[in-house]
Structure 1
Amino acid sequence: MLDNKKIVFIGAGAMAEAMISGIVAAQTISPEHIFVTNRTNTSRLKQLQDQYGINGIPNGELQLDQVDVIILAMKPKDAATSLQSIRQIIKPHQLILSVLAGVTTSLIEHLVPAGQQVIRVMPNTSSKIGESATALAKGQHTTKQNLSWAKHLFECIGEVYVIREEQMDIFTGIAGSGPAYFYFLIEHMEKEAVKAGLTKGTVREILAQTLLGAAKMIQEQEESPAILRQNITSPNGTTAAGLLALREYCGGEAITQAVHQASNRSKEISRQLENSIQNMNIPTAIEI
């Protein structure tokens, strides 16, 4: 257990559940020390409570001062309103972890008491099975001790990488959104294999194993992805034909644009939140 800290998830969507599932499965934090709340969907809170043994607390009933770590997992557009509603009761010792895409640590620091410790986190949904690629970027007031604690927390759901704030948008484009690109690829390959007569269940196993094997080759071999690709591409062979089709139909450009567009959307969300804060006339961070 990590110091018997108590944590609360504000927001109960897919990402919150993926993280809760991974943390509970790894036995890093006792389920009785995990709380989750949202604005209105009490049936969702009960579902999470029944499934994971945690505490589902309806909005307004959570005693925020009983937790050590506040994890922001609401929709990014709701961040300003949510933080404004709790900023007066946040305590100096509480660590704020944000999994909100596009929401910078400086924006959060503007909305919470002055000097509050904030860490921006970008996991992906593979955290549900302990295989997330998670990035951490600390705010200006966060101690090395709390950054280390957060790193240990998220190591229970996969690999953790400490990066700079300005690198979070591109990380979001490749890792935060990355699993969806692979699912999209598998979806199309599965469709064609089923058309050719293989059963969907068999195809799914084949494709999952193929993707897993390729991932392990990248992890365990010294060669770059480009060299690994070249090693299995015989002149005029089947792989060469497939890769030619990818080039002819702009497969590489599609991947490039997917990464760029996801990264740009992360930046856009940040700009939109900044504008919404200005329109709400929220004062600067209060002193603690």
Structure 2
Amino acid sequence: MAETTERQGEFADRRVALIGAGVMGEALLSGLLRSGRPASQIVVADRSPERLMAIAEKYSVSVGSGPEAAADATTVVIAVKPQDMAGLLREVGQHLKPGALVVSIAAGITTAFLEEHLPEGTPVARVMPNTPALVDEGMTAVSAGAHCETHHLWEAQDLMRGCGKVVSLSEDQLDAVTAISGSGPAYIFYVVEAMIEAGVLLGLPRGTSTELVVQTLYGAATMLKETGEHPTVLREQVSSPGGTTMAALRELDDHKVRAAFLTAMEAAAKRSHDLASGHV
């Protein structure tokens, strides 16, 4: 209880406006509250009145329009679709407090774009989260804009820690981040789908196959995290000479699965770069 009170005191003069209450916006809101931010210091805006009503009832936070939310905030987090960003920035920019930090979680929106559509000198940060943020196991990269000072960067990092881990990187690395961790959950789900189907093909009930695969995935990820061993070492521990695992891995190598993953992630990084450059 004392720790929670201390954290709430830390945020006493840092009011956050969250504009956009979709899936990622709500995940961030939930994480902020769990990390100790008092609901009284958060205001949420969304263009759907029904969505705002549901958010206010569920989380006991203040709600309002984008300009109203931004006007009293020290940090404005924008979680809207990329195509809606330019109009929203023009709408809220004139209402920003001097020195207020603007944080964007919209894919493909660069810090230069944010700065271009906001008042001169506005500190901005760009963040790339991923969907495990919904279960507090997200991985987020944060990049600072031209006017973003150290304390602004710390605030952007702190915002995202309620949803998982955070790293700070230069913006020119965000295309790679998008390809690896941003899109990464989809690759994992893709492999899990294939493994479950293999179990069914081999005669297992679908429910049993799903349980086997999901727990195996969870256990393997936990081993990677807790042992600190290189994945090659852990793979070799399972791969007895002439055994079943080696037979399976040989098939994967014969089908060039490793090369396919590399090529796929290169394609994702290129697509991220194209989107950020306006080449849709």
Instruction: Give your verdict on TM over 0.5.
Output: yes
Q: Secondary structure at the match of 2:142?
A: strand
Match of 1:23 among 19, 32, 49: 32
Q: 1:61 to 1:69 in 2, by over 3 A?
A: closer
Shift of 1:236: 2.7
Match of 1:53 among 50, 60, 66: 60
Q: Contact 1:130–1:157 at 8 Å: present in 2 too?
A: yes
Q: Which residue identity is paired with 1:80?
A: A
> Which structure is richer in relative contact order (CA contacts within 8 A, separation 6 or more)?
1
Residue 281 of structure 1 corresponds to none
Shift of 1:195: 4.4
Q: Contact 1:90–1:112 at 8 Å: present in 2 too?
A: no
Q: 1:147 to 1:61 in 2, by over 3 A?
A: closer
Shift of 1:116: 0.8
Q: Which residue identity is paired with 1:28?
A: G
Q: In the alignment, is residue 37 of structure 1 matched against residue 45 of structure 2? A: yes
Q: Secondary structure at the match of 1:121?
A: strand
RMSD: 2.3
Shift of 1:117: 0.9
Q: Which residue identity is paired with 1:6?
A: R
Distance 2:259 2:22 in 1: 32
Q: Which residue identity is paired with 1:48?
A: I
Q: Secondary structure at the match of 1:272?
A: coil
TM-score normalised by length of structure 1: 0.85
Match of 2:231 among 211, 225, 228: 225
Q: 1:249 to 1:105 in 2, by over 3 A?
A: same
Residue 255 of structure 1 corresponds to 261
Residue 286 of structure 1 corresponds to none
Q: Which residue identity is paired with 1:161?
A: V
Distance 2:263 2:37 in 1: 39
Q: How does 1:19-168 map to 2 (within 5 A)?
A: 19-24=28-33, 26-39=34-47, 41-57=48-64, 59=65, 62-168=68-174
TM-score normalised by length of structure 2: 0.87
Q: Secondary structure at the match of 2:96?
A: coil
**CA deviation map 1:58-115 (0-9, x unaligned):** x467342122211111111221121122222222221111111222112211111111
Q: Which residue identity is paired with 2:11?
A: D
Q: Secondary structure at the match of 2:166?
A: strand
Match of 1:267 among 260, 270, 273: 273
Count of paired positions: 271
Distance 2:192 2:178 in 1: 21
Q: Contact 1:76–1:269 at 8 Å: present in 2 too?
A: no
Q: Contact 1:28–1:153 at 8 Å: present in 2 too?
A: no
Distance 2:66 2:125 in 1: 25
Match of 2:15 among 6, 11, 22: 6
Distance 1:49 1:64 in 2: 17
Q: Which residue identity is paired with 1:29?
A: R
Q: Which residue identity is paired with 1:153?
A: L
Shift of 1:45: 2.5
**CA deviation map 1:167-206 (0-9, x unaligned):** 1110111111111111121122223324445444443333
Shift of 1:207: 2.2
Q: Contact 2:133–2:163 at 8 Å: present in 1 too?
A: yes
Q: Secondary structure at the match of 1:213?
A: helix
The farther-off stretch of 189-198 and 243-252 is 189-198
Residue 180 of structure 1 corresponds to 186
